[in-house]
Chains A and B, each alone.
Chain A
Amino acid sequence: MIIVPYVTGYLSEHYADDDFRTLSAYKAKGGFEGLKKALAMEPEEVVEIMKSAGLRGRGGAGFNAGMKWSFMPKDTDRPKVLVCNGDESEPGSFKDRLIMERGPLQILEGILIAAWAVGASKAFIYIRGEYKEPIRCLEAAVKELYGARLCGENVMGKKGFNIDIVVHSGAGAYICGEETGLLESLEGKKGQPRKKPPFPAQFGAFGLPTTVNNIETFAHAPYILDRGVDWFRGFGTEKSPGTTLYGVSGHVERPGLFELPLGTPLREVIGHAGGVRGGRRLKGVIPGGMSMPILTPNDIDVPMADEFLSERGTHLGTGGVMVMDETTCMVRVACVVSYFFRDESCGQCTQCREGTGWINKICERIEQGRGTQQDMKLLEDVPAMMEGQTICAFADAAAWPIQGLMRHFRDDFEAHIREHKCPYPESFEL
């Protein structure tokens, strides 16, 4: 795995150091100071601090983490559960893996802080099954915590603060990243998302009140508690404070992860990866994982924070930046994207199950030079039918990238239909 070039920030500062994964080295770098400060406060104060820090969830939707914590019921004797979402399966996203492998104790400290804040007594870290090394790293770190009495009963000597942490392996299904699909999977079932309401805070894992946050979201929390809201807000933008790990992949000189403040211009993010490979021209950039609509070279100076990206019809998502140079056939891109969503639909909702199959079939037909104008019409109608009509946001995630490609690269589709073949002989192979 690549080591992050430390650019600017705090999360990845010590990732080059193997020892950072051990308790003693982590503590020597200031680890568990955040938890110590949290435990000196009332849980409500911790939630308030998190709210005003404005940390936005890093799993894709960008919801204020402190706000989410405040939704947990207070007057209940039902046990409460935290779930840490380490399913990371959004194509183009690889940041959570790095955090798990290089900073597992950051995640665990974040979980302990959240457990104190919401009164949880059980935490599950759900990690996609393919992530063997991250699972090993988290298991080792959890073991160390139990040994040091940093989890289990009366954590840090705080009477009544009891929290069990379980590392749980998924088994290969993208939809288990969706939080209610994840909860079903954790319960030993097919990972089919639930209808909402009820929301997880009322009816979550095993029917218990539950908060689900992303790996990276938890990892930021200790720094906020230790160094304060003002310090945290010194990074990033007013609406999107803090740093994130942008993952840059595709046609760049040096793909990798770069920790930068939210709102860093796209040009600079790509620049850290050495720019477009071989001095070629840029054709398109998917800014936030495969579910997010594509940008064009006109957007190269957009600040990479959700409030700016949404003005351009897309989102920050997971910060997975996929770069495509001028050789790229956008119909091939549509084929790869639509194949993925067809393959991963859980099949519960008709629009999603049928729509993803249709879109893929049409894209492949066009790529093979057998497309018609009627197919173009279908590529507009089918995604529109899927959006906002289903149990979970997967169907939107499947529709958006196709809509983006049709919006910005319609010419590529038209050229295939006109010439009855793919006009990009140099493009990446399908």
Chain B
Amino acid sequence: MQAQTLQKIEALFEKYPQKRGALLPAIYLVQAEKGHVDSDAARELAELFELQPVDVWEVLTFYNMFYTAPQGRHHVYVCTNLPCSLRGARSLLKGIESHLGVHCGQTTADGRITLGHEECLGSCGTAPMMRVDGEYVENLDLVEAKRVIDGLD
């Protein structure tokens, strides 16, 4: 853990009646360093929060937005829940799969993009949509999706 990350985490403690309340925000900070949280980082967090490593690990694996394994440089997630699917999200996802040559859940061989699908992201009024590195791209079609994806380094 970098000194700066540690400092930021310690500043979070006072916001919560109990230190552990800061665990989720702390995991985000640690994850921002390498893109995932490995078992060493989890152990460090456990020590800092005076928890057992298993306590941290079980939190890490409960939530979709925490990663315990290395990820592609970019994340592309297509929403496939009902309102998006009704407006063609699954065909869109298949088009992206063949454009990238990977299946949903995989990372391209060059480590550039991890492709995934997600449940409803609160964007049903602007469906279909995808989340690219955390930001929403809405009212999509395959042409636009490819344009956005090809623009990633």
Q: What residues make up the interface of A, taking CB atoms closer than 8 Å to B?
A: 1-2, 79, 88-94, 96-97, 122, 128-133, 164, 166, 168-174, 185-191, 205-206, 208, 247-251, 255-257, 286, 290, 320, 322, 324, 328, 333, 336-337, 340, 343-344, 428-430
Complex interface: stretch among B63-71, B96-104, B105-113, B142-150: B63-71
Nearest-CB distance from B114 to chain A (Å)?
A: 15
Q: Which of B25, B62, B120, B134 interacts with A168 by CB under 8 Å?
A: B25
B19 to A, closest residue via Cβ = A188
The 3 A-B pairs at the shortest CB distance, nearest first, are namely A188-B23, A172-B64, A171-B63
- Rounded to whole Å, the gap between the CB of A255 and the closest CB of chain B is 4
Query: Is the C-beta of B83 less than 8 angstroms from some C-beta in chain A?
Result: yes
B5 contacts the other chain (CB 8 A): no
Known A133-B136, A169-B24, A188-B23; judge A97-B62 contact (CB<8 A): no
Contact residues in A for B62 (Cβ distance below 8 Å): 173, 190-191
Residues of A within 8 A of B81 (CB): 91, 290, 336, 340
Q: Is B65's CB under 8 angstroms from A250's CB?
A: no
A169 surroundings in chain B (CB, below 8 A):
24-25, 28
B137 CB to nearest A CB, Å: 12
6 contacts between A and B (CB under 8 A): A171-B24, A172-B65, A172-B66, A249-B83, A428-B88, A430-B90
A92 to chain B, nearest CB (A): 6
A174 to B23, CA, bound (A): 19
**Interface residues contributed by chain B, number (CB under 8 Å):** 46
Q: How near does chain A come to B82, taking the closest CB pair, in angstroms?
A: 5
CB-CB under 8 A for A94 and B82, given A122-B17, A166-B15: no
Contact of A1 among B18, B66, B85, B126 (CB under 8 A): B126
Binding site for A on B (CB under 8 A): 15-18, 20-25, 27-28, 49, 58-59, 62-66, 80-83, 85-88, 90-91, 94, 118-127, 131, 134-136, 138
Given that A189-B59, A191-B62, A247-B124 are known contacts, is A130 also in contact with B131, CB under 8 Å in the complex? yes
B122–A248 CB distance below 8 A:
no
Q: Do A333 and B82 touch (CB < 8 A)?
A: yes
Q: Do the beta carbons of B124 and A255 come within 8 Å of each other?
A: yes
Nearest neighbor of B83 in chain A, beta-carbon distance: A249
Query: What's the Cα separation between A88 and B122 when bound, in Å?
Result: 7
> Beyond the given A251-B87, A343-B119, could you list 12 further A-B residue pairs with CB under 8 A, ordered by the A residue number?
A90-B120, A91-B83, A91-B124, A129-B63, A130-B65, A172-B66, A188-B21, A188-B49, A249-B127, A255-B83, A336-B81, A429-B90
Given known contacts A89-B120, A171-B66, A255-B127, is B21 in contact with A186 (CB within 8 Å)? yes
Which residues from chain B contact A324 at a C-beta distance below 8 Å? 86
B54, chain A: closest CB distance, angstroms: 12
Interface centre among B22, B80, B87 (most CB of A within 10 A): B87
Tell me which residues across on chain A come within 8 A of B94, comparing CB atoms: 429
Please, how many angstroms separate the alpha-carbon atoms of A122 and B16 in the complex? Answer: 9
Contact A328:B20 (CB < 8 A) given known A2-B125, A88-B122, A94-B122: no
Return chain B residues, CB-CB under 8 Å to A428.
85-88, 90
Write out the residue numbers on chain A whose beta carbons fall within 8 Å of the beta carbon of B27: 171
Which residue on chain A has the smallest CB distance to residue B31? A171
Q: Nearest chain-B residue to A172 (Cβ)?
A: B64
CB distance from A201 to the nearest CB of B (A): 17
| A-chain residues with CB within 8 Å of residue B126 when the two chains form the complex | 1-2, 255
Q: Return A302 CB to nearest CB of chain B, in Å.
A: 20
Whether A208 touches B64, Cβ cut-off 8 Å, given contacts A97-B122, A188-B23, A249-B83, is: no
Q: How far is the CA of A164 from the CA of B17 in the complex (A)?
A: 12
A62 and B90 CA atoms in complex are apart in Å by 33
Known: A90-B120, A169-B28, A256-B125. A187 touches B83 (CB 8 A): no
Q: Is the CB of B127 within 8 A of A91?
A: no
Shortest distance in angstroms between B119's beta carbon and chain A's nearest beta carbon? 6
CB nearest neighbor in A for B139: A2
- Find out whether the CB atom of A255 lies under 8 angstroms from the CB atom of B125: yes
Q: From residue A235, how far is it (CB to closest CB) to chain B in Å?
A: 22
Once A172-B65, A290-B82, A340-B81 are accepted as A-B contacts, the answer to whether A188 and B59 lie under 8 Å apart by CB is yes
Docked complex Cα distance between A79 and B17 (Å): 10
- Whether A336 pairs with B82 at a CB distance below 8 angstroms is yes
